[in-house]
Amino acid sequence: MASKIVIPVCFWGQLREFKHFNAHYQEFLESEKYTYKFYIATWESPYLEKLTLPFESEYAANEQEHIHKLREVTYARLKDEDSNVDLTAARIAFHLHNIKDLFAEDQSKYEFYLFTRPDHLLNRLAFEYQLDCMIESKVNTFNKPVISLKEGIVAQHGLSAPYDVFFIANTSGTKLMLEMYENVFIKDELKDIKIPKITGPHKTWGTYITNNDFIVLSFPISSKNGHWYKKTDRPRLL
């Protein structure tokens, strides 16, 4: 039997619960096609110690210790000051930066990476269908960064989410995504570039992808397995 392809699952962002998360992603370990390895970069939370997945590595930052820096680097990119500016773009980029540190020398070992927020429960069969399409199309052999996005994901809370909460990337695409914090918010050569406002992650995300010449894929999801779990799809865990 051929060995299964290893896919690192990289969770980034705030933990908002643990019971659904533990039960749901435990099922990923039962996959007959892929071997999943789990990483997480998040904020410190009492939920973190209640996670039961076998994480390869994890990082939890203290939000209060970093919030001033995230506000500072966001303001540095704004054309006009706004005391109510949304720091979400900087937060996301910061978490991805921390994921890069978790991989250390392991980053080049994998051909594809899955990135998702921990509060979004992804349908494994639908995700694997999308990954199958990427492998069959041989995009892992491209010498350009590749990212596969799927819009309209439904979160466990029943809310529609934009595409940037979930994406699959090849090795070079992953490298660029994990460098977004430095490339957008830190590097000196960008300090004179002013943008009207960073109101959230989504415009920043799209601009970053466009400016770095990503190949963007949007494979269809089969109707049979194509829904993303809503909270009501799962049994209530008490």
In tens, the pLDDT along 143-156 reads 888 887 765 443 34
Picking from 61, 9, 58, the residue whose alpha carbon sits closest to that of residue 37 is: 9
Instruction: Check: CB of residue 42 under 8 Å from CB of residue 15.
Output: yes
Whole-model pTM: value is 0.82
Average pLDDT along the chain: 77
Picking from 120, 136, 152, the residue whose alpha carbon sits closest to that of residue 230 is: 120
Mean pLDDT of 16-22: 89
Mean pLDDT of 41-53: 94
Task: Say yes or no: domain 5-233 is CATH 3.90.550.
Answer: yes
Cβ atoms < 10 Å from Cβ of 113: 24
Return the structure tokens found at 224. 């049979």
In tens, the pLDDT along 215-229 reads 777 655 443 333 333
